[in-house]
Amino acid sequence: MAEDAETIEWRAPGVRLLLSAPPDGAVRVRGLAAGDVSPGVTHPLVELAVDGQGRVDRSAHAQHRFTAAGQRLRYRSHGADGARFSVTQADPASGLVVTSVVEATAPGVVRAWNEVRNDGPAPVTLDFVSSLVLTGFGTVGPELRLHHARNAWCAEARWHELSLEDAGIVAVGRLHRPADTSLGQFAVTTTGSWSTGDHLPMGALVRRDTGHAWLWQLEHNGPTHWAAGDHDDDVFLLCSGPTAAEHQWRRRLAPGAVLGSVPVVVVVSADGLEHAFGLLTEHRRRVRRPHDDNERLPVVFNDYMNCLKGDPTEATVAPLIEAAAAAGAEYYVMDAGWHAVPKPWWDEVGAWEESRDRFPGGLAATMDRIRAAGMIPGLWIEPEVVGVRSPAAAALPDEAFFQRDGRRLVEVSRYHLDLRHPAARAHLDTTVDRLVRDYGLGYLKLDYNIDVGAGTDHASDSLGDGLLGHQQALLAWLDDVLDRHPGLVIENCASGGMRSDAAMLSRLSIHSTSDQTDHRRYPAIAAAAPTVVTPEQGAVWAYPQPFLSAEENALTLVNPLLGRVHLSGRIDQLDDAQAASVAAAVAAYKEYRHRLPRARPRWPLGLPRWSDPWVALALDDEQGTLLAVWRREGPDSVTLPLPWLAGAGVTPVVRYPADLPTALDWSDATGTLDVTLPGPYAARLIELRR
């Protein structure tokens, strides 16, 4: 950094950002922190690759760092407007002007992105635009830990903690050059149209010596990229949306045109990762589209999971309607299959017309039966796909679908709608409006069961840019649907949790966390769900069965009790005692669910690992703590640290199941709770009131 560089500082509640603007170079970032910024090596604030121009420093091998256009940027101005701060730079060679925007959304939380405008006389092709570059974490060493999350199908939200060395980030100082760069990095790249099909677009860096934590999420419903690495023995973070190298994305920016990068949210905390997740929960609530569903938290029965499995008929649904109402469900959602002749129907979807073979009395009559039972009806659709044998495939023009080289793209016997095209959008608008009108729906489950890959080259500069345009159009379509039908509850589902991204979750009030069918594996997902989605949005399946023991049925019912209850299973075949236990779980949930929209998550045993024998999740508010504890294997007892309740004089009470044996021993002095459960595969919901 030049000696005469101007220091630029911006403060917001719980946040301090420090930059420097040298007279002969690009603006550089020094750090973002909850307090003082750690001194260290600075890094260019913006990385920008244009017209095939690469990097200017070999230390950025295979990385999006020290880009030629990014290095040419020169400071123009900076300023603050309320909670928003911006810095503007310009590249005299390309004519591009980049404004870096940082806005405070909640205490300790900022959202950042870059806006690129072409002020030159000729088009400029963008290969890469960073959303965020950050330093100030401290030097490479054992005190820094990196966290990232895998998100495979039926195994969502699996967080992993790595030392920097295990992440491949090490100090490589050499003789005569003690501070150097290794040419390596730890990168997380999401690809295709499943935004979270293998990874969550999230990560964290935590200092074990001070407790400082930086937690980030990319707020995009498509491909993203983030990387952490070393530079001159310090640590950097770089985040972006789609890129040329990773996602086949390029954008030709015409004179006067503007491109906004994918937003990134960064949480800074001086009190560790758990506190950072609490701050992120508050951010998610503040930026989310308001919906009374997130205050009421109604109980949903869905007839798919370990139940009808996409094969509903008038006869099979009838006893489930009666059983769901008796259990206390407030919505009945009919899942896949209502629209088709008997299976297989995979390649026929898209017209979304009822099957008279399945519902000889008409689907409307079954919807009336749901209402007569005191519940609100809902239906499943998969709006973005059209089966190759669907009548909708012939009715819509080729331009309404994803294409490659002038031909429709086929993925698993399905075409993919391109919502940039008015015919595709009109088809979905007509479908939704008709279903809501004809059947009196109050709920739509929107599923998404294919990954269409890199994208479409029709009417776009690249495959990745076509996908980006569709994803932006999808969000606009969802906004318009909810504007037209403000009371409609729309569920975000993509084969379970394959689109668990902040862009979708900011619009849709309820989210499917997984397609996991094994109640014994679900606790790890249920407990980690609040890292991804607010508790009042995260739907978890509960599927009691007549062949399960009382303890195992209790476990599957505890799974959703600190989120949204998605009841399923063959509840119509339960005996009286089993049915009473289901009703007791639902009744208990209704007594405290009003607290969930203001509670913060905590993990007394740490973020769950996939095979942990004991798993625990707590939600804490001003009244006290709601605690879910699962025993899968291991010893009979576990000690749960609840230090925030130490000295509060609380009394632990089992809220559900109250009729099964449980031993609780609370130490007010140490803030610890000993829980003993009688055997493997048991769970309890416990309340500790202040």
**Which strands form 624-631's sheet, in the order they lie side by side?**
600-602, 614-621, 624-631, 682-689, 651-656
pLDDT of 154 = 98
- DSSP H/E element including 398: none
- Residue 6 one-letter amino acid: E
Percent of the chain clearing pLDDT 70 (strictly above): 98
Dump strand ranges (E) for 234-375. 234-240, 251-253, 258-260, 264-269, 300-302, 331-334
| For residues 572-579, average pLDDT | 98
| Tokens 């000729």, residue located | 122
User: Would you call 673 helix, strand, or coil by DSSP?
Assistant: strand
Antiparallel, parallel or unpaired: β 224-231 and 185-190: antiparallel
pLDDT of 61 = 65
pLDDT of 511 = 98
pLDDT of 59 = 61
Show the CA angle centred on residue 219, arms to residues 628 and 265, nearest 5°: 80
The answer, yes or no, to whether residue 338 has pLDDT greater than 80, is yes
The answer, yes or no, to whether residue 1 has pLDDT greater than 50, is no
pLDDT of 41 = 81
- What lies within 8 Å, CB to CB, of 638 at 6+ separation is 605, 614, 616, 629, 631, 674, 675
pLDDT of 626 = 98
Does 277 or 58 have the greater pLDDT score?
A: 277
175 pLDDT band, cuts 50/70/90, is: low
Q: Got the DSSP string for 87-150?
A: EEEE-TTT-EEEEEEEEEEETTEEEEEEEEEE-SSS-EEEEEEEEEEE--S-BSSTTEEEEEEE
Dist. CA 156–CA 515, nearest whole Å: 9
Q: Got the DSSP string for 327-368?
A: HT-SEEEE-TTTTSSSSP-GGGTTS----TTT-TT-HHHHHH
Mean pLDDT of the chain: 96
The two structure tokens encoding residue 88: 């503007």
Does 128 or 66 have the greater pLDDT score?
A: 128
176 pLDDT band, cuts 50/70/90, is: low
Furthest CA-CA distance within the chain: 85
| For residues 336-355, average pLDDT | 90
216-219 contacts at long range (C-beta below 8 A, 24 or more positions apart):
216/132, 216/264, 216/265, 216/266, 216/267, 217/264, 217/265, 217/280, 217/502, 218/131, 218/262, 218/263, 218/264, 218/501, 218/502, 219/111, 219/262, 219/263, 219/264, 219/265, 219/501, 219/502, 219/503, 219/506
The answer, yes or no, to whether residue 325 has pLDDT greater than 60, is yes
pTM reported for the whole predicted model: 0.97
| For residues 317-345, average pLDDT | 94
| 290 phi, psi to nearest 5 deg | -65, 140
Dist. CA 376–CA 131, nearest whole Å: 42
| For residues 652-662, average pLDDT | 98
- What is the four-CA torsion angle of 460, 466, 468, 473, rounded to 10 degrees? 90
Q: What is the DSSP letter of 621?
A: E
pLDDT of 56 = 74
pLDDT of 2 = 47
Between 463-484 and 422-439, two packed helices, what is the crossing angle to 10 degrees?
Answer: 30
171 pLDDT band, cuts 50/70/90, is: confident
548 pLDDT band, cuts 50/70/90, is: very high
The pLDDT tens digits of the residues spanning 192-226 come to 999 999 999 999 999 999 999 999 999 999 999 99
Provide the CA 218 distance to its chain's centre, in angstroms.
9
| For residues 148-157, average pLDDT | 98
- What is the four-CA torsion angle of 517, 519, 523, 525, rounded to 10 degrees? 0
User: Would you call 389 helix, strand, or coil by DSSP?
Assistant: coil
The answer, yes or no, to whether residue 660 has pLDDT greater than 80, is yes
Show the CA angle centred on residue 548, arms to residues 546 and 552, nearest 5°: 135
Of 342, 336, 332, 330, nearest in space to 367 by CA: 332
The answer, yes or no, to whether residue 3 has pLDDT greater than 60, is no
The pLDDT tens digits of the residues spanning 372-413 come to 999 999 999 999 999 999 999 999 999 999 999 999 999 999
CB count within 10 Å of CB 209 equals 10
The pLDDT tens digits of the residues spanning 91-124 come to 999 999 999 999 999 999 999 999 999 999 999 9
Min mean pLDDT across 18-27, 54-63, 581-590 is at: 54-63
Of 622, 642, 377, 613, nearest in space to 488 by CA: 377
- Look at the alpha carbons of 60, 61, 62, 67 in this order and tell me if their dihedral is positive or negative: positive
pLDDT of 37 = 81
Of 39, 34, 72, 28, nearest in space to 53 by CA: 72
| For residues 174-195, average pLDDT | 84
The pLDDT tens digits of the residues spanning 493-538 come to 999 999 999 999 999 999 999 999 999 999 999 999 999 999 999 9
Dist. CA 144–CA 46, nearest whole Å: 24
The two structure tokens encoding residue 660: 């099964």
| For residues 269-289, average pLDDT | 98
User: Would you call 72 helix, strand, or coil by DSSP?
Assistant: helix
CB count within 10 Å of CB 23 equals 10
Dist. CA 380–CA 439, nearest whole Å: 13
Q: How many CA atoms lie within 13 A of 449 on its CB side?
A: 18
Dist. CA 498–CA 447, nearest whole Å: 10
Going along the chain from its start, the domains and CATH numbers come out as 6-287 (2.70.98.60), 293-512 (3.20.20.70), 526-533+551-564+575-690 (2.60.40.1180)
